[in-house]
Chain A
């Protein structure tokens, strides 16, 4: 159902904008503890950059092929998030109490909580990005004969 766009303006601008969006998404994700943003917004922006690539360059181009591989990671973000909670259990504390993250070269509890926030944000970002792309595939890549191109 989605076809590649013919307009050279749209294609050129998208080719310029998609790396910028991804760079800004990574910035928001990594610096979510120091400024506005965080895992949720960073994940949505990562997913949106790939969705823009799918809509502009069509189902045969590189963004869509990458997105098809990415969709296989559905649920990975949730596993990262819950897995870090489980690591806290192994460390001898409560579920999701990052002060008990068992990492040998980090001694202070506040540093561990900082790291726990960071890693769980990455988990949230992965989950959101994959889900956004997966919903676009569910909505759009079903053609008129009811066949899915995923």
Chain B
């Protein structure tokens, strides 16, 4: 039943990704990138990763688009029209070959949702069985992010703080 749903999503994903790369006008490119993020969010939701889908929809389709547009409005109009040279011959033949190699390597991956796959038997079963008992938090993703791996999230927060400070230092340096 899911088969009828995944093919159009993947076709749209590849189409929007190619469109964002091939566009001559950077502003159209940014809008197509926003729609790409939205379709990617649908793909995440279809895979069952609702938290990731939520972040992708809000950050990828919303906030990043606003940042890109503000940047584009801040530069000269002639810089938003770009000429793309034709790809070199090596890339034209080498990249499909690389894709074939990756598809060949994909044979060794465990099946999607396989409970006996290596990542599923390491610590995630512990998290799934104990998180409600340990933290009274039904959402396992929040429990893992905020409790079991709180160091990771703390440093992530520090990274985002640093990004804001770096933007302010670089872009507001005109002020005397």
A residues whose Cβ falls under 8 Å from a Cβ of B: 1, 28, 32-41, 44-45, 47-48, 51, 55, 74-75, 77-78, 81-82, 85, 96, 98, 110-111, 113-114, 116-117, 120-121, 123-124, 127-128, 130-132, 134-140, 142, 146-148, 150
| Stretch from B3-11, B18-26, B68-76, B95-103 that touches the partner | B68-76
B167 and A139 contacting across the interface, CB-CB below 8 Å: yes
Nearest A residue to B131 by beta-carbon distance?
A113
A34 and B138 contacting across the interface, CB-CB below 8 Å: yes
Out of B53, B67, B147, B157, name the residue touching A117 (CB < 8 Å): B147
Secondary structure call for the A interface = helix
Out of A98, A110, A117, A138, name the residue touching B171 (CB < 8 Å): A138
Q: How far is the CA of A81 from the CA of B137 in the complex (A)?
A: 18
Q: How far is the CA of A96 from the CA of B147 in the complex (A)?
A: 8
Q: How far is the CA of A85 from the CA of B154 in the complex (A)?
A: 9
* CB of A76 to closest CB in B, whole Å: 10
Q: Count A-B pairs with CB separation below 8 Å.
A: 145
B165 and A74 contacting across the interface, CB-CB below 8 Å: yes
* Residues of B18-46 contacting chain A, CB below 8 A: none
Residues of chain A lying within 8 A (CB to CB) of residue B66? 48, 51, 55, 136
B175 at the interface (CB under 8 A from A): yes
Out of A48, A51, A85, A134, name the residue touching B168 (CB < 8 Å): A134
